[in-house]
Amino acid sequence: MIGVYPGTFDPLTLGHYDIVERANNVFDELYVVIMHNNEKNTLFSTEERVDMTRNALKDFKKVKVESYSGLMVDYFKLKEADYIVRGLRAVSDFEYELQMALMNRSLESSVETLFLMTSQKYIFLSSSTVKAIASHNGDVSKFVPPCILEKIIEKKGQLEK
């Protein structure tokens, strides 16, 4: 079975990592897809996000990290995937995720989305929280893999307060 896990990953957190670990146990191949989305003003460029994510996930032999700038459903068809994987945290994620899953299904009826629940300890963790804490010199080492922490420190000057 082939899964695709799309997201912004600006940057990847231990919450994303947790979902990859879970999905890695389900799929034979898993594509982590960095979506190039002009609407979102990202801290890291698409190339940086691909490199950082690839580095953070290098131990997962079944996982490939790529970027894509088109529609998710087109990537899904291109890879002949079976499922889109998304992570769910608190109930607050539900409405947005439901909307996206149903929109993708209405664009392409073969698209099925599989939701995986994160660990309880990551329920309130998001890339934007990590960036906000880091911008005020807070310690984010508990929330991201060490190689991602290094990149956040390098970008510190560009973090909005």
52 near ligand ADP (CB under 6 A): no
104 contacts 74 by C-beta, under 8 angstroms:
no
Would you say 8 or 104 has its CB closer to ligand ADP? 8
Contact between 48 and ligand ADP by CB under 6 A: the answer reads no
Cα separation, 144 vs 124, in Å, equals 13
- In the complex with ligand ADP, the residue whose CB is nearer, 19 or 148, is 19
Q: How far is the CB of 35 from ligand ADP (least distance, A)?
A: 6
How many residues bind to ligand ADP according to rule CB under 6 A?
A: 17
Q: Shortest approach of ligand ADP to residue 71 CB, angstroms?
A: 13
The closest alpha carbon to 85, from 23, 127, 37, 8, belongs to: 23
Q: Which of 38, 11, 2 is nearest to 143 (CA)?
A: 11
CB of 91 to ligand ADP, least distance (A): 12
Cα–Cα nearest to 5, from 51, 59, 57, 45: 57
Q: Does 53 contact ligand ADP by CB under 6 A?
A: no
Residues 6+ apart with CB under 8 A from 69: 35, 36, 46
Task: Report 79-138 residues binding ligand ADP (CB under 6 A).
Answer: 86-87, 89, 93, 118, 122, 125-127
**Active centre residues (catalytic):** 16, 40, 89, 127
Around 60, how many Cα atoms within 13 Å sit in the side-chain half-sphere? 25
Nearest distance from C-beta of residue 93 to ligand ADP, angstroms: 5
Residue from 130, 102, 139 nearest 16 by CA? 130
Answer yes or no whether residue 75 interacts with ligand ADP by CB under 6 A.
no
Binding site for ligand ADP (CB under 6 A): 7-9, 13, 15-16, 18-19, 86-87, 89, 93, 118, 122, 125-127
